[in-house]
Amino acid sequence: MPDISGLIIINNHFSIPGSPLMPGAIYAEGLVKTFGAVRALDGVDLDVPEGTVLGLLGPNGAGKTTAVRVLTTLIRPDSGKAVVAGLDVLKQPNEVRRSIGLSGQFAAIDEYLTGRENLRMVGQLYQLSARDAKKRAGELLERFNLADAADRTAKTYSGGMRRRLDLAAALVVRPPVMFMDEPTTGLDPRNRLQLWEVIEELVAGGTTLLLTTQYLEEADRLAHDIAVVDHGKVIARGTSDQLKAQTGGERVEVVVHDRSEISAAEAILAKHSMPGTGPEGVTVEKHTRRLTVPVTGGAKLLAEVIRELDGRGIEIDDIGLRRPTLDDVFITLTGHAAEDADEQGGAEGGGATADKKQKRKDRKQKKGAVK
Amino acid sequence: MTATTTAPAAPTPAAPAGGLRQSVRDSLTVAKRNLIRMLRIPEVVVFGLFQPIMFVVLFSYVFGGSINLPGAGLDPGLYREFLMAGIFAQTVTFATAGAGAGIAEDMHKGLIDRFRSLPMARGAVLTGRTLADLVQTGLTLIVLGLVALLVGWRTHENGLKVLAGFGLLLLLGYAFTWIGALIGLTVRTPEAATSGGLIWLFPLTFISNAFVPSQNMPTVLRHFAEWNPFSATVQACRELFGNLPPNYPVPDAWPMQHPAWASLIWSIVIIAFFRTLAVRKYKSATA
């Protein structure tokens, strides 16, 4: 506790809790960053109140990583303003670096160093004394369940262990503001759950966190607020519940028995789709033979759909009514954008749809595995 | 508000030491990291020795008897002594590739991002790497010196002069690792850094006085060889080791007449120039 207050005095930048005039622990206004012809950030605004978690959600190439790189001083934006922990990112980058921890997309650890050596090195580069760095390394190895492997080279670590070591390295000085760029990408379900618990513990301790993810489930579980990013813009923000309410309605989900029955089933579902969503309202996943449609009408409507499908002789493996998930929110919000990009034939846009489907598939598989 | 989590409180980062002290401390921290790596991957050091040893043997025994050294004729013994400074100098400059590959790998693996997000001295990652390479170069020179003694190389000057010669070699090697650092930050993969760090070294080391005297080269090449930073160090070492044949005609070009000074100036200029570029590149490096 005394150490923490020391940190506050040194940095002298915390907003007074409840003060409405102070910007959040992470604040960005009109961030623009272009790489050649690609507008990676196209006017991003963010505001993360102290002690909360913002989930930055979006497909590959949406600009999530670029946003994190700007906020962590790694790249300068073309224009815009960014304040982290009360410090101007563009004017006081080194002071900002003292107050942040970054856990990037890849575990940024030295494979030929042991876990302990990695953490001691990072501690010293955070300007801790050699003694403090050593002590802190020991604590973190304990806390992240790496004590047994502490003196083995990181090369021998599993993916989950590397991730934990990377996160430990980002927490050496217990920074008040943390950035995690897709922290659980590539982890198996067990390791993901473990990492989620660590993150939750961290946030319970008062850390402000900006987290990017492609997993809606992850944002749902960890984030207080979610900002959906696509094509370098924030296209929606709110709590998970707000976003789901915005998407509205319930979903009927059908798995047909035979692939050839998909289009017939699609026609039936389209008739019942919620007004305003149009025929595009029906989402089809061919490989799983799964169709989803937003509806308003509850169980009665479900019974009607079953009757109609039955009447047309369409055999179904599974059918159900469910509340919208963040997946649905995401597709509702980004569906058009992805199509537009396709029409432009941009190199990035072209791959986006297929990419997203693949991601969705991955998510589905992960979900199944978690259960 | 900022309650601690279950773990004990984090230590407070020291107030920024800033300036030179922090630079030195951070550079040493990074150098230590690279030296530990070197110990864990000894293959790199061992294979790094094969090539110069091979050159010693090939040039001494295969070419040695056929190379007509001004002032020495076809005496293979004298050529062997003449050759050694050239091999030493070539060996130290090959550290360029190692530095480049190491830094490119750090970029590739995201380590440079981590370093750049830490409140550390901006040049320290590169300085640390080049210092570690300097240690490796030193070790390589010791082993190579022993091999050279085995095949009959001897120095004929006092110990201080010999040490000064090795000092110039180390400085040249250190200077070249800064070129490697810049290459490593510029290319995208360690493989590209290795080849990018080596290909231009071959013409540079061969169009010099390292293996054959420059006197018999075509005019353009001769001028290049005489002003080549590499030649200055080689010539300086030959003088400091006492390895020039008795009546060896020294070319009139200024660097050949004042090789120790030329070597020193060249190395310092290379360090100043490439360090500035590399550190600037590091500040905006993107993986």
* Interface residue of B5, B24, B282, B283 to substitute, partner A, most A CBs within 10 Å: B5
ipTM of the complex: 0.86
List the single residue in B36, B41, B114 with the smallest CB-CB distance to A102. B114
Which chain B positions have a beta carbon within 8 Å of A125's beta carbon? 26, 29-30, 115, 118-120, 124
A281 and A185 in a single domain? The answer is: no
> Of the segments A24-28, A170-174, B161-165, which one has the largest average pLDDT value?
B161-165
* Interface residue of A140, A174, A179 to substitute, partner B, most B CBs within 10 Å: A174
Q: What is the DSSP letter of B198?
A: H
pLDDT at A214 over 50: yes
Sign of CA pseudo-dihedral B185, B191, B194, B195: negative
Residue A365 sits in a domain whose CATH number is 3.30.70.100
pLDDT at B147 over 70: yes
Range of the domain at A196: 2-243
pLDDT at B165 over 50: yes
Nearest-neighbour CA in chain A from B65: distance (Å): 46
Question: Between chains, do B116 and A74 touch, taking CB under 8 Å as contact?
Answer: yes
List the single residue in A1, A127, A142 with the smallest CB-CB distance to B4. A1
The answer as to whether B31 is a domain residue is: no
A142 and A175 in a single domain? The answer is: yes
Comparing A125 with B12, the larger pLDDT belongs to A125
A207 and A254 in a single domain? The answer is: no
Residue A91 sits in a domain whose CATH number is 3.40.50.300
| pLDDT given at position B11 | 53
pLDDT at B185 over 80: yes
The answer as to whether B24 is a domain residue is: no
Range of the domain at B123: 45-283
Query: Which element (helix H / strand E) includes B43?
Result: helix B42-57
Find the Cα–Cα–Cα–Cα dihedral B78, B79, B85, B88, rounded to 10°: -130
Question: Between chains, do A201 and B116 touch, taking CB under 8 Å as contact?
Answer: no
Q: How far apart are CA B143 and CA A209, in angstroms?
A: 52
Check if B283 contacts A (Cβ < 8 Å): no
The last residue of a domain, from among A227, A243, A259: A243
| pLDDT given at position A72 | 93
Which chain A positions have a beta carbon within 8 Å of B29's beta carbon? 121, 124-125
List the single residue in B30, B36, B114 with the smallest CB-CB distance to A104. B114
> For A251, how many CA atoms within 13 A lie in the half-sphere containing its CB?
23
The answer as to whether B116 is a domain residue is: yes
Q: What is the DSSP letter of B59?
A: I
Q: How far apart are CA B169 and CA B260, in angstroms?
A: 11
List the single residue in A4, A98, A202 with the smallest CB-CB distance to B13. A98
The answer as to whether B13 is a domain residue is: no
| pLDDT given at position A97 | 92
Q: How far apart are CA A97 and CA A84, in angstroms?
A: 10
Check if B42 contacts A (Cβ < 8 Å): no
| pLDDT given at position B126 | 96
Round the average pLDDT of chain A to a whole number and report it: 80
pLDDT band at B286 (very low <50, low <70, confident <90, very high): low
Q: How many structural domains compose chain B?
A: 1
Q: What is the DSSP letter of B117?
A: T
Instruction: Please count the residue pairs, one from chain A and one from chain B, whose beta carbons lie less than 8 angstroms apart.
Output: 143
Task: List, in sequence order, every residue forming a beta bridge with A177; answer none if it has no partner.
Answer: A100, A208
Q: What is the DSSP letter of B218?
A: -
Instruction: List, as own/partner pairs, every contact residues A239-246 make where C-beta atoms lie below 8 angstroms and the sequence separation is at least 24, other chains included.
Output: A240/A326, A243/A326, A243/A329, A244/A323, A244/A324, A244/A325, A244/A326, A244/A328, A244/A329, A246/A329
pLDDT at A361 over 80: no
Q: Count H helices and E strands in chain B, helices first.
A: 13, 0
| pLDDT given at position B141 | 93
| pLDDT given at position B18 | 65
Which chain A positions have a beta carbon within 8 Å of B8's beta carbon? 139
Q: One-letter amino acid identity for B268?
A: I
Query: Terminal CA-to-CA distance of chain B, rounded, Å?
Result: 37
Q: How far apart are CA A163 and CA A183, in angstroms?
A: 8
Check if B113 contacts A (Cβ < 8 Å): yes
A43 and A117 in a single domain? The answer is: yes
Tens-digit pLDDT profile for residues B30-59: 999 999 999 999 888 888 888 888 888 888
Nearest-neighbour CA in chain A from B176: distance (Å): 25
Percentage of residues in chain A having pLDDT higher than 70: 81
| pLDDT given at position B7 | 41
pLDDT band at B85 (very low <50, low <70, confident <90, very high): very high
For residue B206, which phi and psi values (nearest 5 degrees)?
A: -85, -35
Nearest-neighbour CA in chain B from A128: distance (Å): 5
Check if B110 contacts A (Cβ < 8 Å): yes
A235 and A256 in a single domain? The answer is: no
Question: Between chains, do A108 and B41 touch, taking CB under 8 Å as contact?
Answer: no
Question: Between chains, do B109 and A108 touch, taking CB under 8 Å as contact?
Answer: yes
List the single residue in B3, B6, B118 with the smallest CB-CB distance to A126. B118
The last residue of a domain, from among A224, A243, A262: A243
Check if B286 contacts A (Cβ < 8 Å): yes
Q: How many structural domains compose chain A?
A: 2
List the single residue in A4, A75, A125 with the smallest CB-CB distance to B29. A125
Closest residue of B to A135, CA-based? B11
The last residue of a domain, from among A209, A228, A243: A243
Question: Between chains, do A7 and B284 touch, taking CB under 8 Å as contact?
Answer: no
Residue B211 · residue B224 · CB < 8 Å: no
Check if B11 contacts A (Cβ < 8 Å): yes
Query: Terminal CA-to-CA distance of chain A, rounded, Å?
Result: 39
The answer as to whether B51 is a domain residue is: yes
* Interface residue of B24, B38, B114, B120 to substitute, partner A, most A CBs within 10 Å: B114
A343 and A217 in a single domain? The answer is: no
Q: Of A86, A31, A35, which Cα lies nearest the Cα of A234?
A: A31
Which chain A positions have a beta carbon within 8 Å of B9's beta carbon? 1-4, 174
| pLDDT given at position B13 | 54
List the single residue in A98, A105, A171 with the smallest CB-CB distance to B119. A98
| pLDDT given at position B216 | 85
Nearest-neighbour CA in chain A from B31: distance (Å): 11
Extended strands (E) in chain B = none
Tens-digit pLDDT profile for residues A268-304: 888 888 766 555 678 888 888 998 888 877 788 888 8
* Interface residue of A84, A118, A125 to substitute, partner B, most B CBs within 10 Å: A125
Alpha helices, DSSP H, located in B151-200: 159-186, 190-198
List the single residue in B3, B12, B284 with the smallest CB-CB distance to A205. B3
Nearest-neighbour CA in chain B from A259: distance (Å): 43
A234 and A252 in a single domain? The answer is: no
Question: Between chains, do B25 and A124 touch, taking CB under 8 Å as contact?
Answer: yes
